[in-house]
Amino acid sequence: MFDGLLGGKIYGQPAQRTGKNNNTFVVAKMRVPVADGEGMFASLIAFDNKAQTALLALSDGDAASVAGAVTVKVWTGHQDGVPRPAVDVVVQQVLSVYAIKKKRDKAQGTDDDQPQQQPRTGRWGRTQQQTSGPGHKFCTKLSQAFSSSASTVCSVNHLRIL
């Protein structure tokens, strides 16, 4: 088992199930393209609430990327007897076109469901100055999409550009 990132298209509809301990989880299948032009199937299972919600928002044919603990397996076809690869993934994070659009809308301030954001603060709690010049829009979007440490690095690099 190792941590990995897989990208492909959802195959079928993800389903939520309940375990013996009454905890919910979501299962799904993903068709992942491989180098020889064929594809392999990945069995996905998510226990984390955010990952469950993200998987349930997807439907058959939606493009997505998943990150998590990967286990590689081999299965043999019944008709031809040829061994084929398969993967099981315990999903920790999901990235889809839907999630990207939602983050982009939030960064541009067009997400009406969210309250106004407070000013970003730097590593030592100081409010970061808004600057203008080349690269400023990129830094603003980067700092909104990622943590404040990315914003600090971007600000330092932005000052070098000026």
List the domain boundaries for the chain: 2-96, 120-161
Span 44-58, pLDDT tens digits: 999 999 999 999 999
Grouping H, G, I as helix, E, B as strand and the rest as coil, residue 32 is strand
pLDDT averaged over every residue in the chain: 76
pLDDT at 161 over 80: no
User: Domain 2-96 classified CATH 2.40.50.140?
Assistant: yes
Contacts of 49 (CB under 8 A, 6+ apart): none
Q: What angle do CA 40, 75, 20 make, to 5 degrees?
A: 90
Element (H, E) at 137: helix 136-145
DSSP per residue over 111-161, as a string? -TTSPPPPPPB-TTSPBPPP--STTHHHHHHHHHHS-HHHHHHHHHHHHHH
Q: What angle do CA 5, 109, 149 make, to 5 degrees?
A: 50
pLDDT at 155: 41
Span 31-83, pLDDT tens digits: 999 887 778 899 999 999 999 999 999 999 999 999 999 999 988 878 888 88
